[in-house]
Amino acid sequence: MGEHKTHKKTVISRFKLSKTPMTKLEKNNMLWIYLFLFPSILVFVSFYLFPIITVVTTSFTTWDGINSPKWVGLSNYSWLFHNEAFIMSMKNLLFWSLLSAIPHVAFGVLIALILFKKPFGGNFVKSVFMIPNIISVAAWAIIYKFIFNNDFGILNRIIRIFNPGFKANWFFESPYAFWAVTLTWLFYGVIVTLIVLNDLNAIPREIGEAAKIDGASGWQVLRNIYLPLCRISIGTSIILAITSRVGMYEAIALTTRGGPGNDTMSLSLILVKLIMDMKYGSANVIGMVMLIIGIAILLLINKLFRMNESVY
């Protein structure tokens, strides 16, 4: 009973201490903190918060970007969800998201694990693996147009060694176009590799060595120690990979332009087309959809990978 009272007094005293007013020095420190935060807050409000509010409000209007917006309620949303190109773009986004989250990220993690072992020629592999990210997306798309060309593309030439009669206009025929666009990014996970490799290098070597001394195999150390300790970097990589697919534009616009039909249509292509047609209200509906998808992905991956919890 006495111990309970003592504990209760301790809790109360701590609560009272926490309610004590700030000293002059603490107030001065808080003033400097807010002063240094002010530029970042100003930039956020000007370039992020205000545009987001504009997107939300004008998505319920017809607006040409010049005249005042006119309220139309849910008409823009009704039009969008009955639009064939939008429905196809959402299906494509679903497939691309799955491909981004599983084989794309897995390949990047695999390369990171190999480089972590510091194999012979590892620095050369790292340099070569960086090349696609040094080249702009636009230039990379043009390169792939030549690689997948039916007449002189290297891919069809290799296939014709085994199948002389093979013909495929990869970017212009269904179902080849979807996979041609996908291959322009699927196996280039250098960002994933760098993020995960940095996390692997931060893990104390003593942990893996202790597990091996206890009899754990290399696979067991990888599965039960390294990968769990890298869950935050892997989760971050998945978020980056999927959101890149949400905003994917150049690779499609410079190859298939969303065709054939709507086989490779994306939200970004619809968004840009609506802007070019000066239909800003309808374009902002696409912006709202992309914003909601991005937030949903962030919340889902945070939950699945427990990214707010410490790994140690």
Burial class (CB in 10 A: 0-12, 13-18, 19+), 137: middle
pLDDT in tens, the chain (312 residues): 444 445 444 444 444 444 556 676 677 778 888 888 899 999 998 888 999 999 999 999 999 988 999 999 999 999 999 999 999 999 999 999 999 999 999 999 999 999 998 888 888 888 888 887 778 888 888 899 999 999 889 999 999 999 998 999 999 999 899 999 999 999 888 899 999 999 999 988 888 888 888 888 888 888 888 999 999 999 999 999 999 999 999 999 999 999 999 999 999 999 999 999 999 999 999 999 999 999 999 999 999 998 888 777
Q: Does 164 map to a domain?
A: yes
Q: Does 7 map to a domain?
A: no
Q: SS3 breakdown of the chain: % helix, strand, coil, rounded to 5?
A: 70, 0, 30
Q: Does 140 map to a domain?
A: yes
Print the domain residue range for 165: 76-304
Under a CB-based contact definition with an 8 Å cutoff, are residues 242 and 101 in contact?
yes
Own/partner pairs for 143-150, CB < 8 Å, 24+ apart? Answer: 144/180, 144/183, 144/184, 144/255, 145/171, 145/254, 145/255, 148/180
User: What phi, psi does 154 have (nearest 5°)?
Assistant: -65, -30
Domain count, the chain: 1
Which tokens in the block code for residue 20? 């004590």
pLDDT computed for residue 75 by the predictor: 95
The Cα angle at residue 100 between residues 93 and 173, in degrees rounded to 5: 55
Residue 216, by phi and psi: left (phi above 0), alpha (psi -120 to 50) or beta?
A: beta
pLDDT computed for residue 21 by the predictor: 64
**Closest by CA position to 279, among listed 55, 60, 62:** 62
Say which residues have a Cβ less than 8 Å from residue 34's Cβ, sequence separation at least 6: none
With b for 16 or more beta-carbon neighbours within 10 A and e for fewer, the 204-236 pattern comes to: eeeebeebeeeebeeeebeeebbeebbbbbbbb
Helix (H/G/I), strand (E/B), else coil: 37: helix
Under a CB-based contact definition with an 8 Å cutoff, are residues 296 and 94 in contact?
no
What CATH number does the domain containing 120 carry?
Answer: 1.10.3720.10
Q: Does 129 map to a domain?
A: yes
**Closest by CA position to 114, among listed 200, 213, 185, 187:** 200
Q: Does 20 map to a domain?
A: no
Under a CB-based contact definition with an 8 Å cutoff, are residues 148 and 166 in contact?
no
Task: Give dist(CA 145, CA 8) in Å, integer.
Answer: 73
Under a CB-based contact definition with an 8 Å cutoff, are residues 295 and 224 in contact?
no
Q: Does 31 map to a domain?
A: no
Task: Give dist(CA 207, CA 57) in Å, integer.
Answer: 53
Task: Give dist(CA 179, CA 175) in Å, integer.
Answer: 7
Q: Does 105 map to a domain?
A: yes
Task: Give dist(CA 312, CA 307) in Å, integer.
Answer: 12
Q: Where are the alpha helices (DSSP H) in 118-187?
A: 122-134, 137-147, 154-162, 176-183
pLDDT computed for residue 20 by the predictor: 56
Q: Does 16 map to a domain?
A: no
